[in-house]
Amino acid sequence: MEHDLESEQMILDAVDKFLVKIKPSVRQLEADDEYPEEIVEQMKEMGLFGAVIDQEYGGLGLSVSTYAKIVEKIACVWMSLTGVFNSHLIMAMSVQRFGTEQQKRKWLPKFATGEVRGALALTEPNCGTDLQAVKTTAVLEGDEYVINGAKTWITNSLHGSCFALLVKTDPTAKPAHKGMSLFIAPKGEGFVMGNKLKKLGYKGIDTAEFFLEDYRLPKENLISLEEGHGLQHALGALALGRINVASRGIGVASAALNDSIEYSQQRKTFGKPICQHQAIQFYLADMATRVEAARLLVQSAATAFDKGERCDMEAGMAKLYATEAAMSNSAEALRIHGAYGYSTEFNVERYYRDAPLLAIGEGTNELQRIIIAKQLVEQNPI
339, with CB counted inside 10 A (0-12, 13-18, 19+), is exposed
CB 253 within 8 A of CB 287: yes
What SS3 class is residue 351?
Answer: helix
Q: In a 3-state reduction of DSSP, which class is residue 219?
A: helix
DSSP SS3 for 368: helix
Find out whether 177 and 122 touch, Cβ atoms under 8 Å.
no
Dihedral sign, CA of 343, 21, 69, 365? positive
From the list 324, 362, 366, 378, the catalytic residue is: 362
List, in sequence order, every beta strand (DSSP E) within the chain. Answer: 118-121, 137-141, 144-155, 162-168, 180-186, 191-196, 207-218, 268-269, 272-273
Instruction: Identify whether 362 is a catalytic site residue.
Output: yes
Please give the DSSP secondary-structure letter assigned to residue 188.
Answer: -
61: nearest Cα among 49, 70, 72, 52: 52
Task: Give the CA diameter of the chain.
Answer: 80
Question: What is the DSSP-derived secondary structure letter of residue 178?
Answer: G
Q: Which residues are within 8 A (CB) of 147 and not within 5 positions of it... i.e. 6 or more apart? A: 136, 137, 138, 139, 165, 167, 183, 185, 190, 212, 214, 215, 216, 217
CA distance 312 to 62: 20
Residues whose CB is less than 8 angstroms from the CB of residue 75 and which lie 6 or more positions away in sequence, other chains included: 81, 82, 247, 248, 249, 250, 251, 252, 255
3-class DSSP state for residue 184? strand
DSSP class of residue 222?
A: B
What residues pair up with 139 in beta bridges, in sequence order? 146
The residues assigned a catalytic role are 362
